[in-house]
Amino acid sequence: MVNKKTRIAVFCSGSGSNFKALFHALKVKKLNAEIVLCLSNRLQCGAMEFAHQNSIATVHLTEKQFDSFEAFAAAMVACLKERQIEIVLLAGYLRKVPEAVVDAFPDKIINIHPALLPKFGGEGMYGVHVHAAVIDAGETESGATVHFVNKEYDKGRILLQRKVPVLTIDTAESLAARVLECEHTLYPDALEKLLAEQKS
């Protein structure tokens, strides 16, 4: 009997570079999982376009479509349950995941953060802001962290981390580019680890 593939949803808001890295890594690593849904708060973004090109279902979901935040959260849970999603990967999703979704998928939602948590995490710490803060603090190393999502920004259990040196000539932009390269290998490795953990 063929093992059923783990059904994955990816949440994105931007170009989807980590989404693309995960999609390709699933094939290269021959992992027993597949991305079956791309959910975004932006109707038009690189991630949604990539999903369309690769026959992955897309859903555009934003608070503005609903009368209340509770209704929005309930719709997100329903969307994931309808599609029998087992793991949610946040890949550049620039919204806090509603608590109702976290409750519905305990230890099933992971995120990648462009710093070595617990340092340089929390509300407002995303994108170039993180790398500027790392440089301003005089850090000699940074990196990326994949962690479980809980009800607080960037506070969930760490699944995997990888370090990147901070060079004396670095700008926030040059450090960001190097950390992003690290993310593209770290995130697939973390997913592989998560799938192994769930299997054992």
The three-state DSSP-derived secondary structure of the chain is CCCCCEEEEEEECCCCHHHHHHHHHHHHCCCCEEEEEEEECCCCCHHHHHHHHCCCEEEECCHHHCCCHHHHHHHHHHHHHHCCCCEEEECCCCCCCCHHHHHHCCCCEEEEECCCCCCCCCCCCCCHHHHHHHHHCCCCEEEEEEEECCCCCCCCCEEEEEEEECCCCCCHHHHHHHHHHHHHHHHHHHHHHHHHHHHC
In this prediction, residue 142 carries a pLDDT of 98
In this prediction, residue 2 carries a pLDDT of 54
**The model's pTM:** 0.94
Q: Does the pLDDT value for residue 12 go beyond 50?
A: yes
CATH code, domain with 150: 3.40.50.170
Catalytic residue among 24, 52, 60, 113: 113
Q: Each residue of 140-154: pLDDT tens digit? A: 999 999 999 998 888
Q: Are residues 2 and 101 part of one domain?
A: yes
Q: Are residues 27 and 80 part of one domain?
A: yes
Q: Are residues 117 and 86 part of one domain?
A: no
Domain termination site, one of 70, 105, 140: 105
Write out the residue range of the structural domain in which residue 152 sits.
112-200
Q: Does the pLDDT value for residue 67 go beyond 50?
A: yes
Active site residue 113: yes
Q: Does the pLDDT value for residue 1 go beyond 60?
A: no
What's the structural domain count of the chain?
A: 2
Q: Are residues 135 and 71 part of one domain?
A: no
Q: Does the pLDDT value for residue 199 go beyond 80?
A: no
In this prediction, residue 41 carries a pLDDT of 96
Give me the mean pLDDT over the 161-169 stretch: 97
The more confident residue out of 188 and 200 is: 188
In this prediction, residue 200 carries a pLDDT of 66
Q: Are residues 117 and 93 part of one domain?
A: no
Give me the mean pLDDT over the 153-178 stretch: 95
